[in-house]
Homo-oligomer: A and B are copies of this chain.
Amino acid sequence: MGRVVVDVMPKPEILDPQGKAVAGALPRLGFTQFTGVRQGKRFELEVEGPVTDEVLAAAREAATTMLSNPVIEDVVRVAAQED
């Protein structure tokens, strides 16, 4: 069984209120090293059998057409999962 990982992040110029909230909370818990946080999504798509080039191409198309909103998000990675 193969698995494709798709990572989607808010575009840099888009406000990210979830990330902002995390960035604000980290120093209150003693994590002062971090100057910024962005929060995005990670999808794991399972396929029967191996992750072929066709599967990756389909995952790439699904990532841009369905798993992300191209107006506000970037697909930053589509890759077979290395276990």
Contacts and interface: CB of A to CB of B under 8 A. Distances in A.
A5 to B, nearest CB: 8
Interface in A20-38: 22, 25-26, 29, 31, 33-38
A22 B65 CA distance: 12
Interface residues of A, number: 35
A32 B67 CA distance: 15
Interface of A: 4, 7-9, 19, 22, 25-26, 29, 31, 33-48, 54-55, 58-59, 61-62, 65-67
Contacts of A37: 43-46
A34 B60 CA distance: 12
B9 A62 contact: no
